[in-house]
């Protein structure tokens, strides 16, 4: 049984996470896809192709991507290379204190270049990326023409 995990499942957006796939056949070719929806409902996604090792595992921190949204060894590549489905959109988080980005990570058999309704993932999981830590207070700043926010630790 194929399993994909993101560790830790809930983390701050500037902290590294580990994506790990196990339960594959040795040397199996797979597509790892990460996607999220922003606050306006726009979908951003990245995909990378990997070949499983002799133990049937894939870890983007140790196995280089063979192609897709990026190629090479990028442990956080699936999150760094997120692109919008609609051209010229930007991934922007306006409500940094209220909710996280929910990242969906999916594993597909073979090379998946485009999405189709018949494509079913072998495994999937969800992770949260928060922009403000627990207990941090956001104080808006408005002084003359200066606008900003001060984030105070607990």
The tens digit of pLDDT for each residue in 24-45 reads 999 999 999 999 999 999 999 9
Looking at the domain covering 3-152, what would its CATH class be?
A: mainly beta
- pTM of the shown model: 0.89
- pLDDT over 80 (residue 117): no
Torsion of CA 74, 79, 83, 86, to 10 degrees: 160
State the pLDDT at residue 128: 96
How far is it, in rounded angstroms, from Cα 91 to Cα 32?
Answer: 20
Residue found under tokens 């940094």? 96
**Please, which pLDDT band fits residue 77 given cuts at 50, 70 and 90?**
very high
Mean pLDDT for all residues in the chain: 94
pLDDT digits (tens, 9 = 90+) for 48-73: 999 999 999 999 999 999 999 999 99
Report the Cα 140 to chain-centroid distance in Å.
29
Least confident of 80-89, 102-111, 113-122, 128-137: 113-122
């Amino acid at each position: 049984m194929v399993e994909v995990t993101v560790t830790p499942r809930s983390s701050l957006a500037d902290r590294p996470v580990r994506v790990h796939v196990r339960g594959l056949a040795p040397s199996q070719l797979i597509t790892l896809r990460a996607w999220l929806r922003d606050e306006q409902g726009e979908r951003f996604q990245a995909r990378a192709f990997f070949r499983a090792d002799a133990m049937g595992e894939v870890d983007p921190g140790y196995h280089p991507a063979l192609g897709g949204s990026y190629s090479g060894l990028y442990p956080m590549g699936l999150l760094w290379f997120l692109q919008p489905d609609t051209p010229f959109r930007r991934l922007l988080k306006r409500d940094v204190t209220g909710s996280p980005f929910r990242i969906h990570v999916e594993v597909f058999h073979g090379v998946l270049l485009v999405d189709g309704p018949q494509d079913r993932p072998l495994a999937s999981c969800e992770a949260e990326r928060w922009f403000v830590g627990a207990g941090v207070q956001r104080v808006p700043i408005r002084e003359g023409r200066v606008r900003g926010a001060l984030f105070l630790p607990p």
